[in-house]
Structure 1
């Protein structure tokens, strides 16, 4: 099923030196130079983000009956052979239908040293379209995580939940991050900053544009008072729409796919079960160059809903002149089972921060792929700006 074995030969795994932490883009370039991170086709400069690498779909996809994990004794290829599948050629593009599950071999693959592990999440644009995407590695019992010392292929599970989408070889749906550990750190050590550390950072340089609220991370609250001239609070996805070609940027009219949600006088919003919403935080954020952050996607104590499928924030996100926080966090929200009442200013999610091994040589907003710098309420990049 794969060209991996044709490219992979016996080689000595590199020993990586340097500081521990989340690796910046120049560190990821070094992984490529050392053949730790390899690809079926040359990695493009536009794939390098400040603290991650965009992954590309390969030319083969498999439509499967259900999501799966290979488990500790099997490869993804082994599992596909037992489950049955329909092969789809992505060379000229293909439509992934909503409600279906696809497994796609990615162009990139890994030969990690023991001191480097990886994790993945959907790109922001993927999450804002409600395309559920997870990374799968061979012999893995969890999604979106790759253990130190892993050598093998990478796959993406793709399941559009709201819109059917057109993808092709080279389409980028998710991104991968790398953590370098020193000899004293276990792979499962928590790299996140404590609340005390967050308070100290905020006192030195504001992380948000108001009072800091922390509880196992930075607490974010929902904006339901209304933004812009139309006083909107968000968008709700329409159920019956045309296909979205993920490689068409600024092409689609928001009104053909979304219902705008105006602010109410009582500043609340009732989430309908299983509907998909784009909402926004009340706070404006700033991620310092030495840090990255990730939205905690599920927190049952806050309510029976999920916030932010694509939760990674690069160093430099939200930077504004003078160092003031300048970007809101856009949230992909879905209520589960029962209607849920949200009120303006209600805490809905947490932002966990971790340290970079070193500052990236280019920050978010300074590279050509920074589509959401300075954002307020914003749909994915495939849509023309809302009036």
Structure 2
């Protein structure tokens, strides 16, 4: 049956050798519709981001681009503005008909960590064709903050598909009629559109902007860092803000969305013609996100925004992205937020889990 593979199918792939690992894969890595990937013990500082290209192993390119290597065993700092390549603990031996797509985990994106998976012979970031057998690598570029990492940290996740899984606009419209997917009017065009909230129901706080000169963030420390040390608050009284080129922002969608238990979703960037900015880094929404079956009442999407070449005026209600819904091959055994450590169920405007509000 076509669709995104649920947790039970991921466990089966592990036992059958479709997913390999240098160390045993833990239950904590298995999410309702994805698998967390772990950093290995070595990080390579490289001169530039790259793709291996057809029939070329990553190691061949690394020999030319490597500047130096670091042992992550005792912890090592990945510096802001630098590019690193880290071999992952997990590898793949994908069976026929199964493809994979990777993405940054939610907390990774909210820290402005640009991290993408590459493979031997790869011609695209984060996209892995059926039949691929070989290692996986994480390419990491901290954009706003330097970070301390260790082996086993999980910055990326991978989702597996059997055959076509994406809902057409007609199918998405029918699903929304049967079970509302979003508060307010549904804008369906190449997925479910969502807009930015710059007129909050209470107060004037609409988001955060990363400060340019901060300390190092240890990714293992949860609710540890005072948010004001790393972020400045953004307030708006007229429903708009001006994005500065090169700056990184945390904003929130106006709509609260739900992902029914038999579906998954991926956040996709909106058309570039709407403005010179990037809307997301982390993109997977698991079955049960914001859904009543998992204790949710709708959850708003956090927007990780980076402006490009020119200052840009962002207005309340402006459509900035879309959720592409996919059918699950089967319902997961566990839903997002139901009996698992889900940090962002029922979220509103929220920074990464490493920060505390002082």
TM-score range, shorter chain: over 0.9
1:289 Cα offset (Å): 0.6
Instruction: Give the aligned partner of residue 167 of structure 1.
Output: 149
Distance 1:227 1:239, change over 3 A: farther
**Does 1:334 find its partner at 2:298?**
no
Q: Confirm or deny: 8 A CA contact 2:294 2:338 kept in the other structure.
A: no
Instruction: Give the aligned partner of residue 243 of structure 1.
Output: 216
Q: Provide the C-alpha distance between the structure 2 equivalents of 1:261 and 1:200, rounded to a whole number of angstroms.
A: 38
Q: Provide the C-alpha distance between the structure 1 equivalents of 2:215 and 2:295, rounded to a whole number of angstroms.
A: 42
**Does 1:356 find its partner at 2:328?**
yes
Q: Confirm or deny: 8 A CA contact 2:297 2:346 kept in the other structure.
A: no
SS of match in other structure, 2:273:
helix
1:322 Cα offset (Å): 10
Q: Provide the C-alpha distance between the structure 2 equivalents of 1:369 and 1:137, rounded to a whole number of angstroms.
A: 29
**Does 1:88 find its partner at 2:61?**
no
Task: Tell me the number of residue pairs that the alignment of Structure 1 and Structure 2 aligns.
Answer: 358
Q: Confirm or deny: 8 A CA contact 2:294 2:336 kept in the other structure.
A: no
Instruction: Give the aligned partner of residue 9 of structure 1.
Output: none
Q: Provide the C-alpha distance between the structure 2 equivalents of 1:303 and 1:322, rounded to a whole number of angstroms.
A: 35
Instruction: Give the aligned partner of residue 70 of structure 1.
Output: 52
Q: Confirm or deny: 8 A CA contact 1:227 1:233 kept in the other structure.
A: no
Instruction: Give the aligned partner of residue 380 of structure 1.
Output: 352
Q: Provide the C-alpha distance between the structure 2 equivalents of 1:115 and 1:72, rounded to a whole number of angstroms.
A: 20
**Does 1:256 find its partner at 2:238?**
no
1:263 Cα offset (Å): 2.5
1:145 Cα offset (Å): 1.1
Q: Confirm or deny: 8 A CA contact 1:302 1:349 kept in the other structure.
A: no
Q: Confirm or deny: 8 A CA contact 1:36 1:110 kept in the other structure.
A: yes
Q: Confirm or deny: 8 A CA contact 2:296 2:346 kept in the other structure.
A: no
Of 20, 24, 28, the residue aligned with 1:46 is 28
Q: Provide the C-alpha distance between the structure 2 equivalents of 1:237 and 1:376, rounded to a whole number of angstroms.
A: 18
Of 113, 118, 123, the residue aligned with 2:100 is 118
1:325 Cα offset (Å): 4.6
Q: Provide the C-alpha distance between the structure 2 equivalents of 1:194 and 1:121, rounded to a whole number of angstroms.
A: 22
Distance 1:324 1:25, change over 3 A: closer
Q: Confirm or deny: 8 A CA contact 2:207 2:233 kept in the other structure.
A: yes
Q: Provide the C-alpha distance between the structure 2 equivalents of 1:100 and 1:146, rounded to a whole number of angstroms.
A: 25
Q: Confirm or deny: 8 A CA contact 1:298 1:305 kept in the other structure.
A: no
Of 155, 160, 168, the residue aligned with 1:178 is 160
Deviations 1:159-214 (CA, angstroms, capped at 9, x unpaired): 00000000010011100011123xxxxxxx5x321111111111111101222111
**Does 1:22 find its partner at 2:4?**
yes
Q: How does 1:263-274 map to 2 (within 5 A)?
A: 263-264=236-237, 266-274=238-246
Instruction: Give the aligned partner of residue 287 of structure 2.
Output: 315
Q: Provide the C-alpha distance between the structure 1 equivalents of 2:251 and 2:269, rounded to a whole number of angstroms.
A: 14
Q: Confirm or deny: 8 A CA contact 1:304 1:340 kept in the other structure.
A: yes
Which consecutive aligned stretches of 4+ in structure 1 deviate over 2 angstroms post-superposition? 82-85, 320-325
Q: Provide the C-alpha distance between the structure 1 equivalents of 2:63 and 2:296, rounded to a whole number of angstroms.
A: 53
**Does 1:197 find its partner at 2:179?**
no
Q: Provide the C-alpha distance between the structure 1 equivalents of 2:333 and 2:153, rounded to a whole number of angstroms.
A: 25
What 5-or-longer segments of structure 2 have no aligned partner? none
Distance 1:321 1:69, change over 3 A: closer
Q: Confirm or deny: 8 A CA contact 1:226 1:262 kept in the other structure.
A: no
1:362 Cα offset (Å): 0.3
1:234 Cα offset (Å): 0.4
1:77 Cα offset (Å): 0.8
Q: Provide the C-alpha distance between the structure 2 equivalents of 1:330 and 1:53, rounded to a whole number of angstroms.
A: 21
Q: Confirm or deny: 8 A CA contact 1:21 1:357 kept in the other structure.
A: yes
SS of match in other structure, 1:79:
helix
Q: TM-score, normalised on structure 2?
A: 0.97
